[in-house]
Amino acid sequence: MSTDRPQAQPSVQIDNARVRVTEWRFAPGAETGWHVHDCDYVVVPQCTGKLDLETLDGHTFSTLESGVSYYRERGVEHNVINPNDEEFVFVEIELK
């Protein structure tokens, strides 16, 4: 499933035996690309806005609020897309 969307830019801040912490920066319209997490994880939004979560079952739009974290379990294949007109940033903490 390829697209012409720009790619979100990850910056790994910590990667050790217990956690991987990655800052994700999404230009308007950018995506992560399809992927599956091997670990449970927590996302900490750094701004407020919507994200489009594309799964094999369709699209889900979520409104995220700066500093309000959420938890997800590993194993769901998905693609995250920034539908906003401005950059969207979050920190992802994978629990190894």
Residue 1: is its pLDDT beyond 90?
A: no
Among 42, 22, 34, CA closest to 95: 42
Residue 25 lies in domain: 9-95
Tokens encoding 32: 């992560």
CATH number, position 65? 2.60.120.10
Residue 4: inside a domain: no
Residue 78: inside a domain: yes
Q: What is the pLDDT of residue 64?
A: 97
Tokens encoding 13: 């801040």
Structural domains counted in the chain: 1
Residue 69: is its pLDDT beyond 90?
A: yes
Q: What is the pTM of this model?
A: 0.93
pLDDT digits (tens, 9 = 90+) for 9-65: 999 999 999 999 999 999 999 999 999 999 999 999 999 999 999 999 999 999 999
Instruction: For 27-94, give the DSSP string.
Output: -TT-B--SB--SSEEEEEESS-EEEEEEETTEEEEEEE-TT--EEE-TT--EEEE--SSS-EEEEEEE
